[in-house]
Amino acid sequence: MRALLPLLLLALPAAASAQDTPPLLSPEAARAIASEVSGGAAKRIVQALSLHHRMRGSEGYRAAAELIRDRLKAYGLAEADIISLPADGTIFYGTQRSRPAWNASFAELWEERREDGRWRDAERIASWADQPITLAQDSVAGAAEAELVDVGAGTSARDYEGRDVRGKLVLTSSQPGAVARLAVTERGAAGIISWAQNQKTGWWGDDRDLIRWGHLDTWDDPSFAFMVSPARADAWRARLAKGETVRLRAKVEAGRSPGAYLIPTAVIAGADRTHEIVLSCHLDHPSPGANDNASGCAGILEVARSLDRLVKEGRLPRPRRTIRFIWPCEVECTIALLNGRPEVPKRTLATIHLDMIGGNTDITHGTLKVEGSPPSLPSFVSDVGFAIGRFVDDQSRFYAERGAAAMPLLDPEGTKNALHARIGGFSEGSDHQVWAEGSWRVPVVYIADWPDIYIHTDKDVPANLDATKMKRAIFIAAASAWFLANASQADAEALTIAAGAEARMRDGEAHVGRVLTPEERNLRNRLGWRHDEEVVRSLSRFGIGPWQPLPELARAEAELARIVPPRKPAPRPSPLYRRNPDLKGPMDGFGYSWLDDHLKQAGLPKPALLARETGEDGPSFGYETLNLVDGRRSVQEIRDALAATVAPVPLEEVAAYLATLERLGVIRR
């Protein structure tokens, strides 16, 4: 265990886990929100959204965006509108190169049989009209009537040895974008048929009928690609292995054109219009895309409806701060929004992001996660989400075990399953990481389901969702947002109690299952002290403070220095870096990597640090290293922070990565 925590925290008791109402909220507010939010209502919105193939900039995405806006207006939300940011492939929003709109009007894949000496259509394998997920995103128009050639993975020259693919269709186990250059651009294949599997989980490969969402590159190696199931591919491969001919006919009418990033938005106006709490999701993904992420989009729509109604009916007061709701496309729209509308991050105090919240555990095998900001961004905001999430999880477990609980948050259309939520920590993978990135440093609460064995496939359908799980996730989001929108000086003690409880949990979890070296233990103790101190100091972001027990903390820090001697300084002074204020955003967006693009332009190798594994959860080295660049930390201090919070890492790799970013103009000395 860490030697000491801030005395202010140690002096306060941990939050009780078996209380009747959530921590931080008044009983009246908690009961009002619990009685209003509906998982069933949200699930019906999911059913409507799942009908649209929601590719960025497409007509399907526009229809979904307009559906959200129209619902917001029908509910009476203020300022319901759609933000439109141009996207044509040349405009940059910070580190995100805008991607043009992609639309398809027709796509079919047929298997042919020889009859009367001619090849004729025998079986329709894929159809845009029936299942748009069978056409890979960013496919271009084309047609082919040709034999099928199995190239295995198709990602190396060896896969093509002895195979003539010119003018033919290639069958690959990889994503289409990974084989387009070798198969189409360099060897003249007519198109691609992919049976790429879904994300690996414990249920990997069990369902051979899944058809996965496919991708091609937006700009390079134009081609078309169809997606088929592993079962279909297995049958073809067996026939090809016997020397049979498999002949297919493909036709695609699709392409890219200048478009726009469309982002529905609305607000519940607070007394303070200069500060906002944002609830976010991501509206894009293929049809049906029920859990990923129609569920998160329907979830924040239900938060908007519920809180707005409660305020208008007088069951909740007008919030102190404004609550904003946004529905961007994943990552790229968020990067575009924060760069294209700089007033948005400037007034945002915290963001609550929902990405997959409803998978029925019995079907999708997923667990709801409630996570917070990365280690580089200590904030009490995370602890608010954790505290409320733990309450909801406890209540769900009490009900499942005993048949009674003070606030079980059951939905009449859902299950009675315990939630078994995973509370705490940080992982990348959605728009929350953009808000928390070092360019903007907005603290986050991230609510997400993982795993889900059906996401990004044709079987991610509304029937897989549990209305009770959705209600609970929606409650966590709504309750967290409501508290953050109203937090005041009167909440300082309750917040400090919650922060202290979470600090002790983090400290214990950080030491479980691993033997630390003396250096690692010293680093964790020293940096853990600073992290907890910064969590409490973060209250000032909400105008809560000042935090003043400085004499006691000074004595505690002196005691810590006696117990844990400070590390010896680096033999040579290392540079101090700061971010280039004219370049905002993460190094990797969605469909475009600023770093990869500029490394290629500069003829530089990819830094070794980016290939280093960090474990199952937590931030990547590349993401967190750049987040720690603040003009105050030395390279040694950045390395130490990474070693304490991510994983042990050589100083030389951190220094080399930062030197590369300096050469590319991302950071400056």
Written as six digits, the tokens of 580 are: 């280039």
Read off the pLDDT of residues 611-627 as tens digits, 9 standing for 90 and up.
998 866 789 999 999 99
Task: Round to whole Å and give the CA distance between 161 and 159.
Answer: 6
Cis omega before residue 451 (within 30°)? yes
Contact 332, 261 (CB under 8 A): yes
Q: What is the pLDDT of residue 17?
A: 44
pLDDT classification of 410: cutoffs 50, 70, 90: very high
For 50-61, b/e burial (b = at least 16 CB within 10 A) is bebbbbbbbebb
Average pLDDT over residues 311-337: 98
Question: Could you identify the residue written with the tokens 């607000």?
Answer: 267
HEC readout, 330-350: CCHHHHHHHHHCCHHHHHEEE
> Is residue 370 included in any domain, yes or no?
yes
Burial class (CB in 10 A: 0-12, 13-18, 19+), 236: buried
Residue finishing a domain among 428, 457, 491: 491
Q: What is the pLDDT of residue 2?
A: 42
Based on the domain organization, do 130 and 244 belong to the same domain? yes
Based on the domain organization, do 340 and 467 belong to the same domain? yes
Residue finishing a domain among 491, 510, 533: 491
Written as six digits, the tokens of 317 are: 């007061």
Other beta carbons less than 10 A from residue 117's beta carbon: 5
Q: What mean pLDDT value characterizes the chain?
A: 91
Query: What range defines the domain where residue 316 resides?
Result: 7-98+260-491
Beta bridge mates, 322: 276
Is 90 exceeded by the pLDDT of residue 219? yes
> Is residue 134 included in any domain, yes or no?
yes
Q: Choose between 178 and 19: higher pLDDT.
A: 178
Read off the pLDDT of residues 364-402 as tens digits, 9 standing for 90 and up.
999 999 999 999 999 999 999 999 999 999 999 999 999
Would you tell me the crossing angle of helices 27-36 and 467-486 to the nearest 10 degrees? Answer: 140
Based on the domain organization, do 131 and 110 belong to the same domain? yes
Based on the domain organization, do 230 and 379 belong to the same domain? no
Written as six digits, the tokens of 273 are: 């219009």
Q: What is residue 255's three-state secondary structure?
A: strand
Based on the domain organization, do 621 and 634 belong to the same domain? yes
Spatial CB neighbours of 405, under 8 Å, sequence gap ≥ 6 = 395, 396, 398, 399
> Is residue 497 included in any domain, yes or no?
no
Q: What is the pLDDT of residue 14?
A: 38
Is 90 exceeded by the pLDDT of residue 199? no
Task: Round to whole Å and give the CA distance between 204 and 211.
Answer: 13
Q: What is residue 447's three-state secondary structure?
A: strand
pLDDT classification of 566: cutoffs 50, 70, 90: low
Is 80 exceeded by the pLDDT of residue 510? no
Based on the domain organization, do 422 and 304 belong to the same domain? yes
Secondary element (H or E) of residue 42: helix 39-49
Task: Round to whole Å and give the CA distance between 131 and 158.
Answer: 33
Burial class (CB in 10 A: 0-12, 13-18, 19+), 515: exposed
The structural domain count of the chain equals 3
Task: Round to whole Å and give the CA distance between 421 and 476.
Answer: 12
